[in-house]
Structures are given as structure tokens and as C-alpha cells.
Amino acid sequence: MIRRGSVSQCATRTGSSLARASCSHGTIFHRKDPGFVFQGGGYAAPLAADQNPVLKTTPYPAIPLEVKVSNVRGTVAMARTNLPNSATSQFFINLADNQALDYINGGYAAFGYITDMSFVAEMSQAPCVASVVTDGTYYGCLPVPNLMIVSAEQTRP
């Protein structure tokens, strides 16, 4: 369960809007980077390691970057491109204290935290394969079989 904490209101609005709109339903965790992050929310299932992934569209515009909470173990943050105001639907779970992400390219905005890390530990045991798409982009380790998000909901502390 992801719970909102006292985090960036802009990212929180986006995170809760994505949950309400079911934007993450049917997407997968496409990047497993042990000891760093578990990333998902952008690509639809099924996805194979040798495929060119197609981003799932979201009806929401990119959000302005607001970094107010540190990227520590168990927090959930918006993923984005190298452009600071480019976060849309992808997010990542911090598997470790990643305070460097508070500063790289303007930082990455946390919007919630995992209330029970045991399910993340279980997901971390999933086998994965190196994922390099045809344009040469390396996406890290893709969990196979895909770990799909079947539902998302907003909770309040």
C-alpha cells in the first residue's frame, strides 16, 4: 500500500489523480535495480525484454517539479526524463536511502511512502532479464514474468 505523507502537494495531487483515473492499472514494474529503485507506471503489459516499449498515455499534463521530502528507503517518487518538469505517470519505490536523487538534475519529487515493505521485498525476488530495446536504450532488469499493477487507490494517513 502506498500512503501519502507530508510530501510535495503537486506530486501528491498527481499521484492521487493517477490512482483515481486508474492510469496505472495494467501497467508493469519495468525496471528492477536491486538496492536502488523499483520503477513502474509507464508501460502496459505484456512486455518482453526485446520489445520496443510503448508508453501508456495519461490524460494529465507533466507536473512541475517540487522536491520537499528526501528520497529515503520506502518513499515513492515521480520518475521523469532529464527535464525537471517532465514527470507524468511513472514512479519508483526507493529500495534504499537515495538522497542523491534529491539533487540530481533538480531532484525527484517523493509523493508518498510504502506502508509495508514486505510486498516490495517479495517483488524483489522476481527473476528478471536485461532489457535493451531496439534503439539501444538500456532499461535495466525487466521482471519476467511481468509484475502488473492491477489496482491503485488513494489512502490517507
Whether the Cβ atoms of residue 109 and residue 66 lie closer than 8 Å to each other: yes
Q: What's the fold here for domain 2-148? A: Cyclophilin (2.40.100)
pLDDT of 129 reads 87
Beta-carbon contacts of residue 58 (< 8 Å; ≥ 6 apart): 18, 21, 23, 88, 89
pLDDT of 115 reads 86
pLDDT of 71 reads 97
Residue 112, classified by CB atoms within 10 Å of its CB into exposed (0-12), middle (13-18) or buried (19+), is buried
Segments in the chain below pLDDT 70: 1-23, 50, 132-139, 152-157
pLDDT of 9 reads 39
Whole-model pTM: value is 0.81
pLDDT of 132 reads 58
